[in-house]
Chain A
Amino acid sequence: MEQQINNHLIESLLREQFADAVIQVEESYGMLDITVQRDKIIEILQWLRDHSVLQFNFLTSMNGMHFPEVKNKELSMVYHLHSFFTNARIRLHVFFPISDPHVPTATGLWNTANWMEREAFDFFGIRFTGHPDLRRILNVEDMLYHPLLKQYPLEDGTRTDKEDKYFGR
């Protein structure tokens, strides 16, 4: 029940402060899913972090997403925030077209965003404007594509011992 009240409170406070930046608010499995405008994301994250009641002081995780069939919203970034004071968690989403994969960096707010953003760049090709060191992190430097985009295959192309007929293809 307390979680419920908290979610309402978060939503109303957020809507009050950023009326035009909040695009959509949903709740799934007890956690708020808030879609916000891309250019306001850092402002919102900072406000949530420094707010005297909400105090979302901990960036739990960040990850990229790819929805190839949704036009102009192909890519998205997901931010999980956690408040160690109120024990509330929220999830923020930003959506943007794959032709313009730029998101402002959160490294100014949390150091931990550094590698998570590098990972999202590596996997999805999302460019974080203002990131101090935006290089590939997990894959080899000279890789030509961003492997977690849905159009690329999982499997290694060099394997010769796999015949399609054994896999029903």
Chain B
Amino acid sequence: MAKQENIVNGVVQTEEELKQYNYLNLGPTHPATHGIFQNILKLDGEIIVDAQPTIGYIHRAFEKLAEHRPYYQVTPITDRLNYCSSPINNIGWHMTVEKLIKAEMPKRVDYMRVIIMELARIADHIICNSVIAVDTGALTGFLYVFQWREKIYEIYELICGTRLTTNIGRIGGFERDFSDDVWRRIEEFVNEFPKALKEFESMVMRNRIFMDRTIKVGPITAEKALNYGFTGPNLRAAGVDYDVRVMNPYCSYQDFDFIIPIGSNGDTYDRFCVREEEMWQSLHIIKQAMQKMPAGDYKADVPEFYLPPKEDVYNSMEGLIWHFKIVMGEVHVPKGQVYHSVEGGNGELGFYLVSDGGRQPYRLHFRRPCFIYYQAYPEMIKGAMLSDAIITMSSMNVIAGELDA
């Protein structure tokens, strides 16, 4: 016979039905979520039973916007996808268009791009990793390594004039060669950053509190990660050595020697360590690129798409004509569809470009790694403690701009 308290309105309740759950609305604006995501958490005490994510709070209509912008004006939109590493997005887009128009880049452009992209990867991982540390209670590390991000900003600033949303380079190369000051600063960075990174690592990586907070928190198996479309550091932390730079080398990545770090259980700690190691590998790649830097031009010979420098526009007939043609959309763009992907800060950043021969893309779809892997978030935090939900999110490096397009 059922006990008296098990009967509600004359119906015998199971144990599950009698349980009292709490609902916690985490977000859209919450100090602990980096960016704006809403999760309605169903809690049993402090254990998460279920999560309902809502996204789209900064949907900015990139794909529609790209249909209304000439090719060279799409670059600023790509800046704002994953704004922690915008040069990778910019260069990925340039390479997509170059693939469409079948333009060959000189080796020097490739190497320069590799240097910029690896700097951007370091900048991206600095934010992600220091923020994981902040979420476990170590603000010092963040303040410390952020100074090095400023140094990367300074390098960007010397190359293209802006700090964060870089709009770096052009379709067909760079707008100018790197100055001596840029080379000096990159070298300085490559030589001095290891010291800081080492110090950050020694503070956090074998720290007992940090390890207790992150090991076996928010784990995902390789099988599930693949099923959910994970790419980038998050997939590698789960133990799959997939890296676009190696599988489909672009931008002469095949010339460089580097390893792909992988984790084993795909938990927060593994994701942290994979990102740390990737920063070391990026430094390694930059060093190689600087050593092997070939002589040559900083731009390809594609006058139909490469906006000429202003001196040429004002002083030569050719330059003026090409400038006019590009800006007014008089150049011939081949019809076709092309998919190109680069290894972004968060994974495979893909551009699916459909051209109907017009001056704007007919359709441009971004494969945004954040958007794809964030849907696994409820499953990853199910059964975890409430405080683990925050660390899991920051270790996935979900960037709102990329998530919501």
Contact = CB atoms under 8 A, between A and B. Distances in A.
Interface of A: 28-29, 31, 33, 57-61, 63, 65-66, 78, 80, 84, 87, 89, 91, 110-112, 114-116, 119, 123, 136-140, 147-148, 154
Interface in B302-343: 336-339, 341
B229 interface: yes
Given A61-B352, A138-B404, A112 B337 contact: no
Interface stretch (B5-13, B64-72, B77-85, B388-396): B64-72
A116 B227 CA distance: 13
A10 B37 CA distance: 41
B59 A112 contact: no
Q: Which 3 A-B pairs have the closest CB atoms?
A: A112-B229, A138-B56, A63-B365
A147 B61 contact: yes
B352 A63 contact: yes
Nearest to A119: B371
B226 interface: yes
Interface of B: 55-56, 59, 61, 63-65, 67-68, 99-100, 224, 226-229, 240, 242, 247-248, 336-339, 341, 348, 350, 352, 354, 363, 365, 367, 371-372, 374-376, 404-405
B336 A28 contact: yes
A91 B339 contact: yes
Given A78-B352, A110-B229, A154-B68, A87 B63 contact: no
Given A58-B229, A112-B375, 5 more contacts: A60-B341, A60-B367, A84-B242, A91-B337, A147-B64
A31 B112 CA distance: 28
B333 to A, nearest CB: 14
A60 B350 contact: yes
Nearest to B336: A28
B67 A154 contact: yes
A116 B352 CA distance: 14
11 contacts: A29-B337, A60-B348, A61-B365, A65-B354, A84-B240, A84-B247, A115-B372, A137-B56, A138-B55, A147-B61, A148-B63
Contacts of B229: 58-60, 110-112
Contacts of B240: 84
Contact of A111 (B55, B68, B337, B376): B376
Nearest to A89: B339
A36 B371 CA distance: 27
B247 A87 contact: yes
Nearest to A148: B64
Given A60-B350, A84-B242, A138-B59, A154 B64 contact: yes
A138 B62 CA distance: 12
Contacts of B224: 111
Contacts of B64: 147-148, 154
Nearest to A91: B339
Max chain B CB contacts within 10 Å: which of A61, A123, A137? A61
Contact of B337 (A28, A60, A137): A28
Given A123-B63, A147-B61, A112 B99 contact: no
B367 A115 contact: no
Given A89-B339, A123-B63, A110 B372 contact: no
A119 B372 CA distance: 11
A87 B247 CA distance: 7
Given A29-B336, A58-B226, A112-B229, A87 B65 contact: no
A116 B350 contact: no
A137 B354 CA distance: 24
A139 B64 CA distance: 13
A135 B343 CA distance: 30
